[in-house]
Chains A and B, each alone.
Chain A
């Protein structure tokens, strides 16, 4: 395709057809069509064709992303998430102190009825063990995001495996897998998570992650199975079968990619519930027993609750942080759902 910018200007060709321009006829336009078009129109068409060619293929995901960017609420959610992610990544640079270090100038003023408040060295004051509260809040974002993201990814992977097998094959495989998810869905999420953690012989942050992941498996599995079933009846899958495409490529290349959109949206929303569930487990004292690890749920549950009358900030800050980050993921997830949902396409 010839570059439209190098074409002769309109004024230069008013007297007749520029022979050079005729020679570099763009491909894909038939000679008869060329004959009927004026040189000026031709240049314009070329420019248009070039512009859209540069744009290239726009996939559904990229298209959805464009719509997401126009949704102010989703952008707000994304900004919150981005802020927390940045804080988590740059925690060592942002935090004024080591979150595990106990400072003498704090511990010496520490009593059961008084915990040192803000000072120039410790902007949010001390925690009940004489550590810098601000640094612990900052490092807490790491732990919270890590647990939420890893738990969601594990849940997503297992759920997709179960849902895809169920939806693609149906029959007795589907029956067994779905009865299994029914049992898990019958129990309230937190209760199930608590019993899973209780089953572990030694608790660590991984017991929390696994418990939260397993709680979310049936949700992903159910959702994917439903969209796989819808895909199985779809015209394009019938068309693929009419072309003799093999069963495994139909499942992996035609059904799964189309069925995944709903699950991806659900994963964003699950990030917020996973964070809340993990925080709940820590709050109940079922989390990581390592007292040096800063974790918002633990800070809220143990320090915040015990010293609420002495220094309520110890409860307020972790609670607000948990709520805000969960809200960020929820808003982003809702925005993604609206952007990807084909019914919202305009």
Chain B
């Protein structure tokens, strides 16, 4: 049985007097225990909203969440708020994008790590701080005794993200959701954080949902990848399949737009034309059609279905790409 099974998850934002906006449109995917699953797409494709919906962290008003999020046999969307609160941090951990603003600026790091231990594991402050020291050590923070007493603004960005990872993993959750965990960091620190995440996930057997727009992150970490566009999954494939044979023109475009060190001098960078705003409602066709190089008449006649591919993935496209991409 899957650890997490998201079925037909939809999130519709509805403000009074405004047209409803479907941020996530019947997204389904599952995560096996210990597996790393990527959610990839441009800004505004519904990645973060999906993760917030799974965690039950969307604002109470102004949106409608439908579908099912089965975790460990229970539908998280149907849980009472108190029960869901008990699960957050204990069964499901989360890491956010900006490590500075995600830490409480007026509370020392150690207290922030200890807080979640006191909350979910019933430890007293002393035991929690001792455990916090070990957690900081485990995520590679040097001199943890000193860091325990320091405030977020006193430590470096990479160390802050390490501290957040320590907090998220403090209760040994079975699922960790990382929402763009490396976006706010510089490249060398990004690599360190990704290595750390990979190591911790391997050691603890925690399943990981990696939300990112960075295909490099996906390439290094994920077992399977879900590519989202306009709130829908457009392609799902195992990692090596996706990089070797991207079938959806959007995935293909994303991979092509990654700059290469071995490309000839003077060659222009590839880009997907248009912007995320150039889309049509899924009901009238494929949302990507206005930007697509492979567009055919069928693309403007109703939503293309998500169909299984011969390589074990799923694809939502009328005219998939067939050429192979040389894997760097």
| B240 interface residue (CB < 8 Å to A) | no
Contact partner of B101 (CB less than 8 A), chosen from A58, A235, A242, A257, is A235
Assembly CA distance A322 to B100 (angstroms): 44
Contact at B104–A236, with CB atoms within 8 Å? Answer: yes
| A35 interface residue (CB < 8 Å to B) | no
Assembly CA distance A108 to B164 (angstroms): 79
Assembly CA distance A243 to B115 (angstroms): 9
Contact at B85–A246, with CB atoms within 8 Å? Answer: yes
Given contacts A239-B96, A245-B115, A246-B119, 9 further A-B contacts (CB under 8 A): A52-B146, A57-B151, A58-B150, A60-B153, A63-B153, A238-B57, A243-B88, A249-B115, A258-B104
Nearest CB of B to A262, in Å:
13
In the complex, chain B residues whose CB is within 8 Å of the CB of A191: none
User: Nearest residue in B to A63 (C-beta to C-beta)?
Assistant: B153
In the complex, chain A residues whose CB is within 8 Å of the CB of B96: 235, 238-239, 242
Q: Which positions 226-259 of chain B face chain A at CB distance < 8 Å?
A: none
Assembly CA distance A239 to B96 (angstroms): 7
Assembly CA distance A29 to B96 (angstroms): 29
Contact at A58–B104, with CB atoms within 8 Å? Answer: no
| A70 interface residue (CB < 8 Å to B) | no
| B102 interface residue (CB < 8 Å to A) | yes
| B280 interface residue (CB < 8 Å to A) | no
Q: How large is the interface on A (under 10, 10 to 19, 20 to 34, 35 or more residues)?
A: 20 to 34
Contact at A53–B101, with CB atoms within 8 Å? Answer: no
Contact partner of B108 (CB less than 8 A), chosen from A29, A53, A57, is A57
User: Nearest residue in A to B150 (C-beta to C-beta)?
Assistant: A57
Contact at B116–A243, with CB atoms within 8 Å? Answer: yes
Contact at A239–B154, with CB atoms within 8 Å? Answer: no
| A201 interface residue (CB < 8 Å to B) | no
User: Nearest residue in B to A261 (C-beta to C-beta)?
Assistant: B106
In the complex, chain B residues whose CB is within 8 Å of the CB of A16: none
| A25 interface residue (CB < 8 Å to B) | no
Q: Which positions 207-263 of chain A face chain B at CB distance < 8 Å?
A: 234-236, 238-246, 249, 253-254, 257-258
| B149 interface residue (CB < 8 Å to A) | yes
Assembly CA distance A43 to B98 (angstroms): 35
Contact partner of B105 (CB less than 8 A), chosen from A52, A60, A240, A242, is A60
With A28-B142, A28-B143, A58-B151 known to touch, is A240 a contact of B87 (CB < 8 Å)? no
| A49 interface residue (CB < 8 Å to B) | yes
Assembly CA distance A242 to B164 (angstroms): 12
| B107 interface residue (CB < 8 Å to A) | yes
| A19 interface residue (CB < 8 Å to B) | no
Nearest CB of A to B177, in Å:
8
With A246-B119, A253-B107 known to touch, is A239 a contact of B102 (CB < 8 Å)? yes
6 contacts between A and B (CB under 8 A): A53-B143, A235-B102, A239-B94, A239-B102, A243-B115, A243-B116
Against A, the Cβ 8 Å flags (1 = close, 0 = not) of B162-176 are 001001100000000
In the complex, chain B residues whose CB is within 8 Å of the CB of A63: 153
User: Nearest residue in B to A56 (C-beta to C-beta)?
Assistant: B149
| B210 interface residue (CB < 8 Å to A) | no
Assembly CA distance A49 to B146 (angstroms): 10
Contact partner of A235 (CB less than 8 A), chosen from B89, B90, B98, is B98
User: Nearest residue in B to A257 (C-beta to C-beta)?
Assistant: B106
For the complex of A and B, list the 3 residue pairs with the smallest distance between their C-beta atoms, beginning with the closest.
Answer: A243-B89, A244-B88, A244-B89
Nearest CB of B to A172, in Å:
14
Contact partner of A236 (CB less than 8 A), chosen from B85, B105, B108, B120, is B105
Assembly CA distance A27 to B150 (angstroms): 18
Nearest CB of A to B107, in Å:
7
| A195 interface residue (CB < 8 Å to B) | no
| B159 interface residue (CB < 8 Å to A) | no
Contact at A243–B119, with CB atoms within 8 Å? Answer: yes
With A28-B143, A60-B151 known to touch, is A244 a contact of B101 (CB < 8 Å)? no
| B76 interface residue (CB < 8 Å to A) | no
Which of B86, B90, B150: most chain A Cβ within 10 A?
B150
User: Nearest residue in A to B55 (C-beta to C-beta)?
Assistant: A242
Against B, the Cβ 8 Å flags (1 = close, 0 = not) of A167-203 are 0000000000000000000000000000000000000
